[in-house]
Amino acid sequence: MRQGAKGAAPADEVETLRAQVAALEEQIAALGQDHETALAEKAQLERELGLERFRAGKERSRRHEELKLVKAAALDEKARLERELEGKRFLADKERSRRHEELKLAKAQLALAVAENEQQLRHLEALTREVEALQAQNARLQARLARAGADSGEAMDARTRFETARTHQLCGDIAMAAQVYAEVGPDLPRFLAQDAPSGRQITGPDFLIIGAPRAGTTWLKRRLARHPQLFILAGEHHYFSASPDRSAESYVARFAARGTKYLRPHGRYARPKKRLYGEKSTTYLVMPDSQIDLCAALFPKLRLICMVREPVSRAWSHIKHLGHGARAGDLEYLQSLSPWHSLDAVVDYGRYERHLARWAVRFAPEQMLLIDFERIAAEPEAVFRETVAHIGAEPDLSPWESEPVGASADTSPPEALQAHLQAVCGNEVFDVAELRRAMEAAAAQAMGRPT
């Protein structure tokens, strides 16, 4: 039994091996078929690749020929453009040369015209000087005739006096003009009158804000402009201080002319029956005596307003307002500025007592309203109503509307400037009550009354 079992085992193994060999042969046969198929596919791909290579070579040859043609055309076009550019350069050079010659000729003609113009200007200036000399001579002759007529007992009529004063004014003799205007009498407003487009006759301003700059004058002007009866010229005109040699009628015309710009905030264009006209020019406070005389002679009933402020702080604000704050420590620079901007000129605005005394000699002290700058912040409505009453307008019963004060930033002046301002104007009077007493004393002294 043990021998039979041992003989059966090798037979099973042989069968198993045979089955494995048969499976391997099948696999080998399948691989052979796959190999043949792969070789056939390879041959097919090689044929297709060869065909594609042939086509690509043919396409490359075609494109190469096309590129050669394009290059040849581009070279031809480049050559044509270069020839065209060369022609244009030649024409441009020729045009540039022509224009250069024309410019040389134009410059020569311009130089000749400038020379002729300068000669004509010199001739015109000479003629102007001759005319001014003749006008001055005529004014002097008219004045002498007027005095001769007065000495001989002949009365000069008002119109003749007015024309004589006007001639003096246009010739720049402001003091004589003021003297003769003052002699014209009650007919003067009639001679000055100008017709407004509305048909109303305007004979000049009813009130002036004369100063001082940086003391609240702009605030007051804007606030007064809200009053329906007050018509204030926009801007600052500086007629008496800057152009007193222009006719008085031309000044009055500024209030009456069509297109005159009045400061009317928020589009207020009321048409009240009573109108009062005025302007603000802060240079009036410090102008020479003869120009104050002219103002008083032409408009003796003016209501005047002057605002005052502590002189040192006012001067520092003024310097910053003029745009010199960055160099305020350089006193030499401040002194070298133009007359209206120099340090001395700025300081002079704060010498209220001296300047107001000059105005008090020519206008009654009650015609001048003095306002302390500090009151604007403390009691603005009271300042406004007091000013309206001084001017002679009716009380404004509309609700109070605040108006901002255009004060500069609260900074201290440089040490050198602070010391200088304190030395030259620190002791100037700016108390309204004291200034009022000084004005009354000056007026009394001018009238020969004991003070």
Nearest to 343 by CA among 353, 333, 351: 333
Lowest mean pLDDT among 110-124, 218-232, 324-338: 110-124
Instruction: Evaluate whether residue 391 is within a structural domain.
Output: yes
**CATH classification of the domain holding 295:** 3.40.50.300
Give yes or no for a cis peptide into 29 (omega within 30° of 0).
no
The token duo for 176 is 């004589």
When pLDDT is cut at 50, 70 and 90, the band that residue 142 belongs to is low
Q: Give the chain's domain count.
A: 2
Q: For the chain, what percent of residues have pLDDT higher than 90? A: 59
Beta bridge partners of 278: 207, 232
- 186 lies in the same domain as 249: no
- 244 lies in the same domain as 279: yes
SS3 95: helix
- 185 lies in the same domain as 237: no
The DSSP annotation for 393-436 comes to: PPP--SPP------PPP--PPPHHHHHHHHHHHTT----HHHHH
- 128 lies in the same domain as 251: no
- 258 lies in the same domain as 152: no
- 261 lies in the same domain as 302: yes
pLDDT for the residue 2: 46
Mean predicted confidence (pLDDT) in 13-38: 89
Mean predicted confidence (pLDDT) in 123-142: 73
Instruction: Evaluate whether residue 34 is within a structural domain.
Output: no
Q: For the chain, what percent of residues have pLDDT higher than 70? A: 90
Last residue of a domain, one of 192, 215, 249: 192
Nearest to 355 by CA among 220, 241, 279: 241
Q: Is the pLDDT of residue 261 over 90?
A: no
pLDDT, greater one: 75 or 270? 75
301 CB-side CA count, 13 A: 12
- 371 lies in the same domain as 398: yes
Amino acid at 333: Y
Last residue of a domain, one of 162, 192, 222: 192
- 363 lies in the same domain as 353: yes
The DSSP annotation for 116-129 comes to: HHHHHHHHHHHHHH
Instruction: Evaluate whether residue 431 is within a structural domain.
Output: yes
Q: Quick check: 435 and 306 in contact, CB under 8 A?
A: no
Instruction: Evaluate whether residue 232 is within a structural domain.
Output: yes
Burial degree of 66 (CB within 10 A; 0-12, 13-18, 19+): exposed
pTM over 0.75: no
Q: Is the pLDDT of residue 130 over 50?
A: yes
Q: Is the pLDDT of residue 122 over 90?
A: no
**Range(s) of the domain holding residue 121:** 117-192
Instruction: Evaluate whether residue 306 is within a structural domain.
Output: yes
Nearest to 202 by CA among 246, 248, 265: 248
Last residue of a domain, one of 192, 217, 247: 192
pLDDT for the residue 409: 59
pLDDT for the residue 168: 93
pLDDT for the residue 169: 95
- 261 lies in the same domain as 370: yes
Q: What angle do CA 215, 351, 385 make, to 5 degrees?
A: 35
- 368 lies in the same domain as 422: yes
Instruction: Evaluate whether residue 348 is within a structural domain.
Output: yes
- 164 lies in the same domain as 260: no
pLDDT digits (tens, 9 = 90+) for 310-320: 999 999 999 99
When pLDDT is cut at 50, 70 and 90, the band that residue 124 belongs to is confident
Q: Is the pLDDT of residue 419 over 90?
A: yes
Instruction: Evaluate whether residue 172 is within a structural domain.
Output: yes
pLDDT for the residue 7: 55
Q: Quick check: 184 and 158 in contact, CB under 8 A?
A: yes
Instruction: Evaluate whether residue 38 is within a structural domain.
Output: no
204 to each of 232, 275, 277, 415, how far by Cα in Å? 12, 12, 7, 46
pLDDT for the residue 449: 64
Q: Quick check: 224 and 271 in contact, CB under 8 A?
A: no
- 326 lies in the same domain as 438: yes
pLDDT for the residue 153: 44
